[in-house]
């Protein structure tokens, strides 16, 4: 029996805005096992970031709210924790890397101070020990001149270097789970490859579980054990990474994969699927992918298919693989 690190179950996170309710995440279930790297893929706006911010409970400054579902970390519910207990977990047991390396570091403080902060807080090191640990982390993420970088400000570093600093910061307290929200998207291709290599190396050394959010299928192919494909706030397909590339089922996944994945193949720019993600306030009834699906049938417009595990650990949300007769009767 594999040990479960993170269990997101039927998570619903809605945004309450002027134009109505945006169901950014609408019943998402994702499990990350110990030592496993799970990829979460999908076009921009499908709810990947909101899912990860929900896990960290970092939605307090947005109009977003977790309205239903549960999030368990090592078996204990995160949604029931007090804010104080949650702070003991953030940056300690669960760490996060963001998409925007250029703006994710505070421009007015030196790198060293920003790195030491979490180390002092969670590991309770004194100033001297924290500094040594911070330098070690910078060395670990392959930053040259680690000692000097400690005394530099973010604007003195390139995007790739800043992302290394963010990774060092995230890994500093030896987290059990790392949530990486498109960690390479903002970087150019050669730097992307270096950062991925670094993440692979760190994972192999530390056995950290990773939830890797990306819209780059090449990254998924290279890094992940399992993949969750999201569309419009829902999971539409889930399987191990081999099966997904060998035998994709959902028409959306098929469209995403299209050709052989390679690094830098960006779902964002993929034009093999015509149309756009539906506007969240105006979701079609039935299958949310129907307006763009070449296989769409009558039932697809009427009734939302469920996420069904078809055969061993391969789940798919599509009427093509489900008993339509039965569904129509209900």
Ligand X SMILES: Nc1ncnc2c1ncn2[C@@H]1O[C@H](COP(=O)(O)OP(=O)(O)O)[C@@H](O)[C@H]1O
The binding site for other proteins (CB under 8 A) comprises 56, 58, 61, 84, 87-92, 95-96, 98, 100, 103-109, 117-118, 121-122, 153, 155, 166, 169
From the list Mg ion, ligand SF4, other proteins, none, partner contacted by residue 319 (C-beta under 5 to 8 A by kind): ligand SF4
Q: What is the smallest separation between the CB atom of 182 and Mg ion, expressed in angstroms?
A: 6
From the list ligand SF4, other proteins, ligand X, none, partner contacted by residue 251 (C-beta under 5 to 8 A by kind): ligand SF4
Q: What is the smallest separation between the CB atom of 17 and ligand X, expressed in angstroms?
A: 6
Of the candidate spans 46-54, 170-178, 196-204, 294-302, the one that interacts with ligand SF4 by CB under 6 A turns out to be 294-302
Indicate whether 283 belongs to the interface with ligand SF4 (CB under 6 A): no
Tell me which of 25, 89, 172, 293 binds ligand SF4, using CB under 6 A. Answer: 293
Which residue, chain included where needed, has tokens 């079609």? 284
Indicate whether 300 belongs to the interface with ligand SF4 (CB under 6 A): yes
Indicate whether 231 belongs to the interface with ligand SF4 (CB under 6 A): no
Which residue, chain included where needed, has tokens 């998924």? 220
- Whether 37 and 203 have beta carbons less than 8 Å apart is answered as yes
For residue 115, give the nearest of 154, 152, 165 by alpha carbon.
Answer: 165
Indicate whether 49 belongs to the interface with Mg ion (CB under 5 A): yes
Of the candidate spans 48-56, 137-145, 146-154, 163-171, the one that interacts with Mg ion by CB under 5 A turns out to be 48-56
For residue 42, give the nearest of 26, 57, 58, 56 by alpha carbon.
Answer: 26
Question: How big is the CA angle at 173 (ends 168 and 177), to the nearest 5 degrees?
Answer: 90
Residue 95 or 236 with smaller CB distance to ligand SF4: 236
Q: What is the smallest separation between the CB atom of 231 and ligand SF4, expressed in angstroms?
A: 9
**CA–CA distance, 57 with 9 (Å, rounded to integer):** 15
Q: What is the smallest separation between the CB atom of 104 and other proteins, expressed in angstroms?
A: 5
Q: What is the smallest separation between the CB atom of 125 and other proteins, expressed in angstroms?
A: 14
Indicate whether 8 belongs to the interface with ligand SF4 (CB under 6 A): no
With 0-12 / 13-18 / 19 or more C-beta atoms within 10 angstroms meaning exposed / middle / buried, residue 91 is: buried
Residue 99 or 265 with smaller CB distance to Mg ion: 99
Instruction: Report the side by side order of strands in the sheet with 76-77.
Output: 20-33, 4-17, 64-73, 76-77
**CA–CA distance, 76 with 85 (Å, rounded to integer):** 12
**CA–CA distance, 220 with 41 (Å, rounded to integer):** 8
From first CA to last CA, the distance across the chain in angstroms is: 36
For residue 90, give the nearest of 170, 8, 183 by alpha carbon.
Answer: 170
Site for Mg ion, rule CB under 5 A: 49
Site for ligand SF4, rule CB under 6 A: 250-251, 287, 289-290, 293, 295-297, 300, 305, 318-320
């Amino acid at each position: 029996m594999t040990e479960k690190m993170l269990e997101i179950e039927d998570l619903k996170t809605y945004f309450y805005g002027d134009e109505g309710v945006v169901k950014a995440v609408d019943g998402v279930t994702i499990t990350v096992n110990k030592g496993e790297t799970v990829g979460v893929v999908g076009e921009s706006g499908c709810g990947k970031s909101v899912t990860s911010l929900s896990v960290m409970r970092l939605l307090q400054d947005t109009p977003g709210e977790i309205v239903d579902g549960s999030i368990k970390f090592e078996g204990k519910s995160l949604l029931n924790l007090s804010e104080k207990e949650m702070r003991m977990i953030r940056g300690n047991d669960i760490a996060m890397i963001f998409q925007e390396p250029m703006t994710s570091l505070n421009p007015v403080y030196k790198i060293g101070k920003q790195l030491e902060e979490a180390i002092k807080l969670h590991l309770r090191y004194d100033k001297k020990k924290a500094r040594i640990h911070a330098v070690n982390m910078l060395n670990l993420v392959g930053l040259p001149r680690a000692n000097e970088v400690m005394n530099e400000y973010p604007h003195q570093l390139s995007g790739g270097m800043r992302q290394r600093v963010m990774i060092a910061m995230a890994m500093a307290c030896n987290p059990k789970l790392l949530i990486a929200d498109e960690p390479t998207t903002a970087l150019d291709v050669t730097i992307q490859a270096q950062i991925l290599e670094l993440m692979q190396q760190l994972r192999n050394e530390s056995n950290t579980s990773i939830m890797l959010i990306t819209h780059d299928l090449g990254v998924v192919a290279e890094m992940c054990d399992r993949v969750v494909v999201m569309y419009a706030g829902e999971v539409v397909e889930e399987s191990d990474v081999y099966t997904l590339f060998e035998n994709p089922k959902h028409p959306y996944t098929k469209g995403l994969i299209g050709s052989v994945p390679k690094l830098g193949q960006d779902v964002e720019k993929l034009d093999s699927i015509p149309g756009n993600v539906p506007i969240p306030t105006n979701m079609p009834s039935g299958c949310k992918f129907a307006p763009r699906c070449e296989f769409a049938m009558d039932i697809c417009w009427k009734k939302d298919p469920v996420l069904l595990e078809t055969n061993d650990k391969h789940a798919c949300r599509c009427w093509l693989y489900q008993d339509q007769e039965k569904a129509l009767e209900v």
